Amino acid sequence: MKYRTIGTEPATRRTVSVLALGAMLFGTRTDEKTSFAVLDRYVEAGGTFIDTSDNYAFWADGGMGGQSEALLGRWRRSRGVGDEIVIATKLGAAPSTPGTGYLDNPEGLSAKVIREAAERSRERLGVDRLDLLYAHIEDRTVPLRETVEAFGELVAEGTVGLLGVSNHAIWRVERARALAAAAGLPGYEVLQYQHSHLRPRYDMPDALFEDGSLGHAGPDLLSYLRAEPDLTLVAYSPLLGGAYGREDKPLPPDYDHPGTPARLAVLREIAKETGATVNQVVLAWQLGGSFPIIPLAGASSVAQSEENSAAVDLELSGDQRTRLDAAR
Number of H helices, E strands in the chain: 10, 10
Quick one: average pLDDT of 131-138?
97
Query: What are the DSSP calls for 95-119, one per residue?
Result: BSSTT--TTTSB----HHHHHHHHH
Query: Residue 230: what are its φ and ψ, rounded to 5°?
Result: -80, -10
Quick one: average pLDDT of 146-153?
98
| 10, 89, 256, 295 from 49: Cα distances, Å | 18, 11, 32, 10
Question: Percent of the chain at pLDDT above 70?
Answer: 96
**Domains and their CATH numbers in the chain:** 3-256+280-316 (3.20.20.100)
pTM: 0.95
User: pLDDT tier at 60 (50, 70, 90 boundaries)?
Assistant: very high
